[in-house]
Amino acid sequence: MPAEILMGNEAIAFGLVEAGCRVVTAYPGTPSSEILAGVVKFKKQLGRRIHTEWSTNEKVAFEVALAASWTGLRAAVAMKQVGLNVASDPLFSAAYTGVRGGFLVIPADDPGPHSSQTEQDSRLLALSAKIPVLDPSSPAEALAMVGEAFTLSEQLGLPVMLRPTTRLCHALQSMVLSPQAADQPVPEVRFRKDPDHWTATPKLRYRLHQELVEKLRAVERAFDGSPLNQILSEGSTAKVGLIASGVAFQTARQALADLGVEIPILKIGTPYPLPRGKVETFVRGLDTVVVLEEPDACIELQLPDRTRVRGRLDGSVPSAGELSPEVVHGVLARVLTECGVSIQPPSDDSVLQAALAALDLPTRRPRLCPGCSHRSAFFALKREFGPQAIYPGDIGCYTLGTNLRAVDTFVDMGAAVTMADGLFKAGQLVGETRPLIATIGDSTFLHSGIAPLINAVHTGSRFVLVILDNHTTAMTGLQPTAAGPDLADGSDAARSISIPDLVRACGVAFVEMIDPYDQESFRAELRRAYEHSQAPQGGVAVLIADRPCVLLDPSSVRANPVVVTITEECDGCRYCVEAFECPALVLSPDRSRVDVDRRICIDCGQCIDACHKGFIVPASMQSEVNAG
């Protein structure tokens, strides 16, 4: 077999497919989204029988996969780390009930964070829920660990966590794949009633808890002798050693090579339960032990004696942010020097760094794409309700509405609705009169917005909720939602769930759908919605801003292009650049005027309203003016 390039998430996907996993569920979230997409790709390529689905949320995904495991099939669920919070209820319960078929929980952590609201460590959630964790350090190792994790899960009858991080998920690595020639038959398994586990009452749960703790003691001893945990460079006589796991292990090994130093390393592949026997053997004879792991202290927390340990808990390793090569190199250089180990000093680049700092290079924050209908909706909101209104927002591309000052809060999936609800209730007590205008995406609404909406309607809250319906889960790579006909495998056999019907069923009396590209009509509907929210018999009003994501379906823009020109009168006041923030509207190099960047402009014409002085005009009109 020739070598291939696989992304970390694809490597995990290949591992799942080859391990005979039969049910894989997920909710999209960076950095995990390519795991399910990879499973779909490989199951088609290799002709495997696997149920794959983008579930409505992570709790749903977890339970659907868990049920498959209870029948005896191998199953897995993937999500980003904060998705595991959503699925934590079944996670904790499933540790007690146990599983039948191997069951993998794959939450992708995001040290940095790059695309998340927290830097939480899923390994600590596993520690709290009491399930074993495997912590791969590279895509190739992640692939290999999938099979071991299934075996472990079946031996113990427990869910097992495989925990990658962003830099593994999005790493590319060359590897040789050797898929089995043909699919194995699906195991002949059926759900078997098992009241001692599947319906265990609190009294039985106490016994299951005891069993769980015993299983963990046994697996800890097994991990002591497992090749997943390896002592490297045993020949070194240095009195300082390193314990590392995950990507931090690879980064640290490179840093030690760059520093020209060889020290004993204990590579941990099973951070929970920590193989304490092996750790004890390793630290014997060492004066100092550095611990490097991401994104938080999990191994370090379990070390019985931390007097000689340098890590996050004593402040030797930064307590927030990614363990970048620079950070790891710096930590190791400092500790080694303090321990009297001579190191290769890094080359000095302070002159270059100072010169670059003096250039004050423009920083590029993420922005909504050219032609994004969210921008049109946000711009209309701001023009209608102004800066004094309160704008609860949510998680998705449209979180970037904060750039446009049209998102004032975001907490977690679905919180736009509950924050508006709570702000209304708190405001009532003090006579708050500012309009409350919440925004949430279609996928996020389906994920976690429905129960909050029922709560708000039921308890009499009053606000406007704008559902920004772009027909997809855009931020994470255009995954389908339950409102559309597409399934994860690309077929269009899904039953579409109507968002307006759902909203009406939640008891909302005012429900309108309108294209935010039609800014005049959109603003008129916003006014009507707000009036409804304030009327004596009114309540929550829901406006559905209906237009497909331009990345998903640019056809209607392409069919009706509106080419704009910026007239000679443009005085470079920057209003459009800041209030509308389309990447295709750029200040000229001398900052005297604004130009259209034709390379990225998609001719949506939405910026015409963004110049209150009327200097952004359709090109057709401009040519008429010139001709006149």
Instruction: State which residue, 24 or 255, has the beta carbon closest to other proteins.
Output: 255
With binding defined as CB under 8 A, does residue 457 bind other proteins?
A: no
CA nearest to 163, candidates 86, 245, 244, 108: 108
User: In whole angstroms, how close is the CB of 290 to other proteins at the nearest point?
Assistant: 16
With binding defined as CB under 8 A, does residue 356 bind other proteins?
A: yes
Under 8 Å between Cβ of 575 and 382 = no
Joined together, the tokens standing for residue 302 give 């379990």
With binding defined as CB under 8 A, does residue 117 bind other proteins?
A: no
With binding defined as CB under 8 A, does residue 468 bind other proteins?
A: no
With binding defined as CB under 8 A, does residue 233 bind other proteins?
A: no
CA nearest to 118, candidates 418, 397, 401, 412: 412
Provide the mask over 593-612, with x wherever binding to other proteins is found by CB under 8 A and - wherever it is not: ------xx------------
Q: Spell out the SS3 assignment of 49-64.
A: CCEEEECCCHHHHHHH
Classify the C-alpha dihedral 319-324-328-333 as positive or negative. negative
User: In whole angstroms, how close is the CB of 587 to other proteins at the nearest point?
Assistant: 14
User: In whole angstroms, how close is the CB of 16 to other proteins at the nearest point?
Assistant: 20
With binding defined as CB under 8 A, does residue 475 bind other proteins?
A: yes
Measure the CA–CA gap between 588 and 590, rounded to whole angstroms.
5
User: In whole angstroms, how close is the CB of 441 to other proteins at the nearest point?
Assistant: 14
With binding defined as CB under 8 A, does residue 591 bind other proteins?
A: no
User: In whole angstroms, how close is the CB of 11 to other proteins at the nearest point?
Assistant: 12
Site residues (CB under 8 A) for other proteins, limited to 238-297: 247, 250-251, 253-255, 257-258
User: In whole angstroms, how close is the CB of 103 to other proteins at the nearest point?
Assistant: 27
Among residues 210, 353, 555, 620, which is the contact residue for other proteins, using CB under 8 A?
353
User: In whole angstroms, how close is the CB of 479 to other proteins at the nearest point?
Assistant: 13
SS3 at position 419: helix
Q: Spell out the SS3 assignment of 298-327.
A: CHHHHCCCCCCEECCCCCCCCCCCCCCHHH
With binding defined as CB under 8 A, does residue 201 bind other proteins?
A: no
Strand partners, 162: 134
Among residues 52, 81, 122, 173, which is the contact residue for other proteins, using CB under 8 A?
173
AA identity, residue 565: T
Joined together, the tokens standing for residue 517 give 């590209």
Joined together, the tokens standing for residue 372 give 């994004």
User: In whole angstroms, how close is the CB of 172 to other proteins at the nearest point?
Assistant: 4
Measure the CA–CA gap between 510 and 504, rounded to whole angstroms.
8
All residues at 6 or more sequence positions from 195 whose CB lies less than 8 Å from its CB, including other chains? none
User: In whole angstroms, how close is the CB of 571 to other proteins at the nearest point?
Assistant: 25
CA distances from 578 to 314, 402, 595, 608 (A): 44, 12, 14, 14
Helix axes 58-71, 88-97, angle to 10 degrees: 20
Site residues (CB under 8 A) for other proteins, limited to 132-171: 137-138, 140, 167-168, 170-171
With binding defined as CB under 8 A, does residue 326 bind other proteins?
A: yes
Binding residues for other proteins, total number by CB under 8 A: 60
With binding defined as CB under 8 A, does residue 578 bind other proteins?
A: no
Residues that bind other proteins (CB under 8 A): 2-5, 7, 30-31, 33, 114-115, 137-138, 140, 167-168, 170-174, 247, 250-251, 253-255, 257-258, 324-326, 329, 346-347, 349, 351-356, 358-359, 361-369, 397, 400, 475-477, 583, 599-600
